[in-house]
Chains A and B, each alone.
Chain A
Amino acid sequence: NAGVTQTPKFRILKIGQSMTLQCTQDMNHNYMYWYRQDPGMGLKLIYYSVGAGITDKGEVPNGYNVSRSTTEDFPLRLELAAPSQTSVYFCASIHRGGQSPNTEAFFGQGTRLTVV
């Protein structure tokens, strides 16, 4: 199992450009999350999903969009990138409910994004 895979690992964007951060998990988890972590700060929840076709806003959703068309994939879209979106982005997944809920949330390795 690959776990949670994020691509790309690094990216530099110019102001006003758009991009999609990819997140894929192969563990059949129902819950997935996107976070941003600014230097020296904690993880802020951007969006989350409790299953395919269902997404909801977290603490800091402005400037971002998500979709969850499959269980495996949870892409994060940045439209009109701004310097304030310079951050490290983490994707996470966990299986909740059912007969074998997870003990922990599994995290990807992160995407370091710089907007200049």
Chain B
Amino acid sequence: AQKVTQAQTEISVVEKEDVTLDCVYETRDTTYYLFWYKQPPSGELVFLIRRNSFDEQNEISGRYSWNFQKSTSSFNFTITASQVVDSAVYFCALSGGGKLIFGQGTELSVKP
């Protein structure tokens, strides 16, 4: 069975702080994909990144970075120097076989 756990339900930080959103997954598939999506208050889902199970390289995109560790089944997301516009719900997702399963989301609030 597949499962995605985002243990942090809500995080509140002050602007310019760094923040890490945790994601732990379970799967029996040897080939799978991990995703992060952002859902701003307007409700749409915005794609941030996809990582293949056989590619453990960390990735940095501007203020965003992702740390993928197969040994701990984790795919954590860090925002450096957070901004108010980063306030949103962030979802981690796992795709293996045919399914695409989401975690319960982490609501990030960045205060000025």
A31 near B105 with CB under 8 A, answer: no
The answer to the question of A109 belonging to the interface, with a C-beta cut-off of 8 Å to chain B, is yes
Chain B residues with CB under 8 Å of A90's CB are 45
**Residue total for A at the interface (Cβ-Cβ under 8 A):** 23
A27 interface residue (CB < 8 Å to B): no
- Chain B residue, CB-CB nearest to A102: B50
Would you call B50 and A104 a contact (CB within 8 A)? yes
Task: Give the docked Cα–Cα distance between A56 and B50 (Å).
Answer: 24
User: Is B35 in contact with chain A by the CB < 8 A criterion?
Assistant: yes
In the assembly, what is the distance between CA of A73 and CA of B103, in Å? 26
* Cross-chain contact B100 with A50 (CB below 8 angstroms): no
Closest to B10 in A: A40
Question: Number of B residues contacting the other chain (C-beta, 8 Å)?
Answer: 18
Give chain B interface residues in 33-85, CB to chain A under 8 Å.
35, 43-45, 47, 50
Closest B residue by C-beta to A57? B99
Docked Cα-Cα span, A50 to B95, in Å, equals 12
Q: Does any Cβ of B come within 8 Å of A43's Cβ?
A: yes
Cβ contact of A50, chosen from B50, B91, B98, B103, cutoff 8 A: B98
Check: B25 CB closer than 8 A to any chain A CB.
no
Q: How far is the CA of A103 from the CA of B33 in the complex (A)?
A: 9
Closest chain B CB from A17 CB (angstroms): 25
In the assembled complex, B101 has its CB within 8 A of some CB on chain A = yes
Contact of A42 among B47, B50, B95, B103 (CB under 8 A): B103
Q: What A residues does B47 contact at CB under 8 A? A: 103-105
Jot down 17 A-B pairs with beta carbons below 8 A, ordered by A. Answer: A31-B100, A43-B102, A45-B99, A45-B100, A45-B101, A45-B102, A58-B99, A59-B101, A88-B43, A90-B45, A94-B95, A103-B47, A103-B50, A104-B50, A105-B95, A105-B100, A109-B43
Beyond known contacts A35-B102, A104-B50: 14 more, CB 8 A cutoff: A31-B98, A33-B100, A42-B104, A42-B105, A43-B91, A43-B102, A45-B101, A48-B98, A48-B100, A59-B101, A103-B50, A105-B47, A105-B95, A109-B44
